[in-house]
Amino acid sequence: MVNLNGQIFSALPPELEQVQRAFFYGDGLFETIRSYQGQLPFWDLHQNRLQRGMDQLGLEWADGFSSDQLIAEIRKMKVDNARIRITVWRSAGGLYMPKNHLAQFLISTQALPSIWQPWLDEGLKVCFCDSVRMPIDQYSGLKWLGGMRYVAAAREVEQKGAQEGLLFNSANRICETVSSNLYWVSGGKLFYPATGEGQVTGTFQTYLTDLLTRNGWNPTPKRCIQEDILEAEEILLTNAIQGIRWVAELDERKLRNSISAQVYELFKQDLTQKINWNGYI
């Protein structure tokens, strides 16, 4: 028997039964992808991360389906410039121990106003988040459905009057922000948190690190302590939807953006080539 906001049912309504494990246990993953004029130039990075996560969680596609075919499902939705979210979860059944490992999926889209991510004339105001610590384990890099820590951190950011928040891991090192991966500039060189520090394995950071390396910037992975950020000359935040955003203020300290602007221009040039020739869906 189920009581849903005062209404009594003999069992979960069919709409809730289908998403039962996602709703009860957060037993699933999601990907957030940006389309550019109906093109998905970074599809392979998202597809690979999603499939790795499914393999890690033991999620299986039904016979005859695979993550390759998700792009055909996106095509049905006739996206242009949009934020696309793919949510994948385990079919209903069981308590903590599942009875069925077949994957269900939901694709949702939200129109975006521009063909690509614009440069911010005014950078972000950023704070340190003290309310959460990100765990470090084999599941840390996944975009899993349980977002409680990110929600709590986002609320803290709002309460502090900032626009983004830097997150610490369980070892008190900085690993990411509420919605982005990060780079910082020290001595004119680019650094980013080392892999396996509790952050989501960002598709955009994977792409951008490769692009920067191919163009001679050679960003360096490093375990990031708070002093690294406090002494940074610049901070860049990156994600698949918003691209590259620079930080103008951290704890009332003003930061520069000269290298951030160069990185953005490099990305814009590369993206122009990609959306002209690759990624059509």
Domain with 107 in it: what CATH number?
Answer: 3.30.470.10
Residue 279 has pLDDT above 50, yes or no: no
Residue, of 276 and 148, whose pLDDT is higher: 148
Domains contained in the chain, number? 2
Q: Are 153 and 264 found together in one domain?
A: yes
Residues 40-80: tens digit of each pLDDT:
999 999 999 999 999 999 999 999 898 889 999 999 999 99
Residues 88-141: tens digit of each pLDDT:
999 999 999 999 999 999 999 999 998 889 999 999 999 999 999 999 999 999
Q: Are 262 and 138 found together in one domain?
A: yes
Q: Are 136 and 265 found together in one domain?
A: yes
Asked if 144 and 88 count as a contact pair (C-beta separation under 8 A), the reply is no
Alpha carbons 193 and 181: distance in angstroms, whole number: 9
Q: Are 193 and 80 found together in one domain?
A: no
The pTM for the full model equals: 0.94
Helices (H), 121-280: 148-159, 203-214, 226-230, 258-277
Alpha carbons 114 and 123: distance in angstroms, whole number: 19
SS3 at position 191:
strand
Inside any domain, residue 119: no
The domain in which residue 89 lies consists of 13-111
Q: Are 133 and 89 found together in one domain?
A: no
Give the start-end residues of each E strand in 138-242: 164-169, 174-177, 181-186, 189-193, 220-222, 234-239
Single residue among 90, 111, 132 that ends a domain in this structure: 111
237 has which bridge partners?
182, 245
Q: Are 62 and 182 found together in one domain?
A: no
Alpha carbons 44 and 31: distance in angstroms, whole number: 12
